[in-house]
Amino acid sequence: MGKEIEEKDLRYRRAQSVTKAEEISEKEKKARKSQVDKPCHVPRDSLFSWSSDFANFTGLVNWGFLMLSIGGLRLCLENFLKYGIRVNPIEWIIILTGYNEGRSHQYPSIILILFTIVPVVICLLIEKGIAVKMMRTYKPRTERRNLDEEGIKTAVSKVTLKVLSIKKAAENYDIKPATLQYRVEKFRKASEEN
């Protein structure tokens, strides 16, 4: 008997604490909404809890990227401390300028590096031209109307049943007579084949 009462008290306390937690979070939300500034962070459940739905893993991805970056930086620093700087900066200048390639003064590496910017600049100029309406965006020459298929079916059925003529049905259902004529012929051919 005493055990049952204790279990009821336990359940009651748990239920009470959940509602109390909800009340506290609702009060915090109301207080935060009444503040002048806009919050940039929103409280949410941990990814390791069942209530998170396991949907948004950006925090874990950022953490993994941070760990990889720190690991790479540590490895780079460790190599510098152990072996020193093994690259000669003058060699880089010789490679970039093509000094050992002869006395042609063409600098192929520098030219290649500079030409990597060309596609980006062309795209930027095209976007700027479109923004100031210097370039015209594509507009189709003919303005085809979106046809109402239900209206066409009704018109075709009235024409085939000889309730309306093609001209009258085209006027009533706002369809071009040539389009209606084509659809009627297509319907008649299909019905003859069956």
CATH 1.10.10 domain extents, the chain: 149-193
Q: How high is the pLDDT of residue 137?
A: 65
List, for residues 140-186, the tens digit of each pLDDT value: 666 566 677 888 889 998 998 888 888 888 888 888 888 889 999 99
Residue 13 pLDDT grade (very low, low, confident, very high; cuts 50, 70, 90): very low
Q: How many CB atoms lie within 10 A of CB 164?
A: 17
Report whether 94 contacts 86 (CB < 8 A): no
Strand, helix or coil for residue 144: coil
Taking 80 as the threshold, does the pLDDT of residue 56 lie above it? no
C-alpha distances in angstroms, 12 versus 8, 50, 67, 70, 164? 6, 23, 44, 49, 77
Dihedral sign for Cα atoms in the order 26, 28, 34, 38: negative
Mean pLDDT check: name the lowest of 34-38, 92-96, 108-112, 175-179.
34-38
The pLDDT assigned to 68 comes to 96
Q: What is the CATH code of the structural domain delimited by 149-193?
A: 1.10.10
Confidence class for position 97, pLDDT limits 50, 70, 90: confident
Three-state secondary structure readout of 27-45? HHHHHHHHCCCCCCCCCCC
pTM greater than the 0.75 cutoff: no
Q: How confident is the model at residue 138 (pLDDT cuts 50, 70, 90)?
A: low
Average of per-residue pLDDT across 42-46: 70
